[in-house]
Structure 1
Amino acid sequence: MSDFRLKVFRSVAKNLSFTKASQELFVSQPAITKHIQELESTYQTRLFDRQGSKISLTEAGKLLLEHCDRILEDYKRLEYEMHLLNNEYMGELRLGASTTIAQYVLPPLLASFIKKFPQVNLSLMNGNSREVEVALQEHRIDLGLVEGVFRLPNLKYTTFLEDELVAVVRTKSKLFIADEIAPEELLNIPLVLRERGSGTLDVIERALLQHNIKLSSLHVLMYLGSTESIKLFLENTDCMGIISIRSICKELAAGTFRVVEIKAMSMLRDFCFVHQQGQESGLVQAFIQFAMHHNRKL
């Protein structure tokens, strides 16, 4: 029911590109231009300044963008609540999840949700925790699922699952590392860790500081952008990784990796839902409730 021209305008305004909006919405570029021209004709004002190949929002465009986000959110809420009268769940739900959650937690949950609510149009953006929070603030997603210990004051976080990070090496590694080590021994062990901005690295850094060890003091061979990359790196290199226990269940069962205990260094964390304060739609709440009900299976 929502005005598609507003979706087009928001996409162009966020990307500052007609081409990117065309790719994002799967609409031809001439159609994108036509929708913007119709809006400018309706309001009798220019919405974008055009300077060569670059565009920028006019004051009128900035004002429309402020209202646009609220209007489209109201349309989504209306669609959800109208269908709810008939016990139906319909509409669009855009999720964003940090890498570990997207790879090892969400897939079975999404499969169950789609099976129960087949008329919900579900999409998933994958990135690290900071990228998910930025996407939420820019209204590119409706609900985020993140890991880590840092919280932004303008966002609401709700814990739904606990996780633990563990140190691992490949079973056939030539490094002599005991099954249990002291935290200070990490200073002499080559490591592969997740990248800056990841919730995983946030937790590791916080745990190290409890023992007066700075991340910059460690011998880090590589910072990699996903847990799967770290696992493949570990399989081919004599070093240690620190990753979610959820990500290595198969490798531990197969004897590919072994866990190294670090004395008195707990690396527990929460997986959290995150959304804009006071802006959760009906579908967002429906998904959160569904996940909470199914979290024992995760």
Structure 2
Amino acid sequence: MESNLSLYKIFYTVASTGNISRSAEKLYISQPAISKSIGRLEENLKATLFIRNSRGVTLTDEGKVLYSHLKTAFEAIAAGEENLKHISDLGIGHIRIGVSATLGKYMLLPYLKDFVLRYPHIKITIKCQSTVHTLSMLEHNEIDIGLIGKSDSIKNLELFPLGEIEDVFVATSSYLENLELREGSSKSDFFKSGNLMLLDEENLTRSYIDSYFLKHHIETHHILEISDMDLLIEFARIGLGIACVIKEFVTDDISAGTLMELPLPAPIKKREICFAWSSKTALSQSAKTFLEFCRA
């Protein structure tokens, strides 16, 4: 751009009013400053833009050409500013959140329920997938925020902890009684003789549990892999086997006696659940609003 925007703004104002003194009042600058700026612009463009007379100024043919283009440009700027003000006033925005189906149901949903009431003009897109895929999408900037279980392998992410979860093994009392009758095993031997229902190997929870087995030299013989925590819980409820589930999601079942928590050789270390976002990418205002809402 040959001349800076302020010179074009002055030219546009003078051309619109047809009068230097009125333009000076509108722009809060002196008349000599306006005349000097017009002179600089004419010098830069090597064209005469105004014809000056006792009643004010009129555009030359060259001035009319420039004005027609600037009119479109400044009207577009004004429309853009008005649109941004409208977005700001209504709180319009968009948030992309990645979360597993289980964490989405049990942990994200309570936050969203109140958030959408307070911020109805923020569009929310939910990507339901495993934590592994959520981490990949965060890395490639395909989502703004992920709801994940914290692990030592997480890098280049900012984290906002929501609380802890505990992994436990549960089954119905009838399944355990039948297992003891059939296999002659006690509750403490269920790893070897029971039908263990675990999340599939794409899930970080499964990796966490496999590490627990390895650390405590636990052998497993019968494993049924399932991709969804809700299905694990439902299968446990109907007596299909022994499920590794998140305790906070079956508290009512344990209290009611629908499911029994089985003893372990050592407790499984609790895990933190966090909102996560990339430390390399600036959060949108809508994403910041969501996180501030959740912190409150």
Partner residue, 2:288: 285
Say if 1:164 and 1:245, in contact at 8 Å, map to a contact too: yes
Aligned-residue offset at 1:170: 1.3
1:204 partner amino acid: I
Counterpart CA distance in 2 for 1:239 and 1:128 is: 23
Partners of 2:169 and 2:145 lie apart in 1 by 30
DSSP-derived class of the 1:157 partner: strand
Report deviation, 1:85: 6.2
| Structure with larger Rg | 2
1:191 Cα offset (Å)? 0.3
| Corresponding residue for residue 254 of structure 2 | 252
Aligned with residue 206 of structure 1, among 211, 219, 222:
211
Alignment of 1:38-117 (within 5 A): 86=89, 88-117=90-119
Unaligned runs of 5+ in 2: 1-80
Per the normalisation by structure 1, the TM-score is: 0.62
Measured after TM superposition, the shift of residue 83 of structure 1 is 6.8
In structure 2, the residue matched to 1:223 is 225
Q: Distance in 1 between matches of 2:190 and 2:259?
A: 20
Structure 1 contact 149–202 (Cα < 8 Å) conserved: no
After TM superposition, the score normalised by the length of structure 2 is 0.62
Q: CA deviation at 1:210?
A: 2.8
Counterparts of 1:152-163 in structure 2, within 5 Å, are: 152-163=154-165
What CA distance in whole angstroms lies between the structure 2 residues aligned with 1:121 and 1:135? 19
* Structure 1 residues 194 and 150, CA gap change in structure 2 (3 angstroms): farther
AA aligned opposite 2:227: G
The verdict on how the C-alpha distance between 1:267 and 1:99 changes in structure 2, with shifts beyond 3 A counting, is farther
SS in 2 for 1:175: helix
8 Å CA contact 2:174–2:239 kept in 1: the answer is no
Task: Name the CA distance, whole Å, in 1 between partners of 2:150 and 2:211.
Answer: 10
CA distance in 2, matches of 1:142, 1:231: 30
- SS at 2:268's partner residue? coil
- Which residue, 113, 138, 151 being the options, matches 2:140? 138
Choose 262-271 or 115-124, whichever is displaced more.
262-271
For residues 254-291 of structure 1, the C-alpha deviation after alignment (integer angstroms, 9 at most, x for no partner) is 43211113132223111111211132222222222222
- Give the aligned partner of residue 70 of structure 2: none
Report % sequence identity. 21
| Structure-2 separation of matches of 1:171 and 1:105 | 28
The answer to whether structure 1 residue 195 and structure 2 residue 197 are counterparts is: no
Query: Which residue is equivalent to 1:276?
Result: 278
Tell me which residue corresponds to 1:31.
none
The AA in structure 2 aligned to 1:211 is H
- Residues 130-164 of structure 1 show CA distances to partners (whole Å, capped at 9, x for unaligned) of 01112222333111011152433233333222111
Q: The residue matched to 2:154 in structure 1 has which SS?
A: coil
How many residues were matched structurally? 209
Structure 1 residue 104: Cα displacement = 1.0
| Deviations 1:90-149, CA, capped at 9 Å, x for gaps | 200111112321121111211011011111111211111101112222333111011152
Q: What is the distance in 2 between the residues matched to 1:83 and 1:175? A: 65
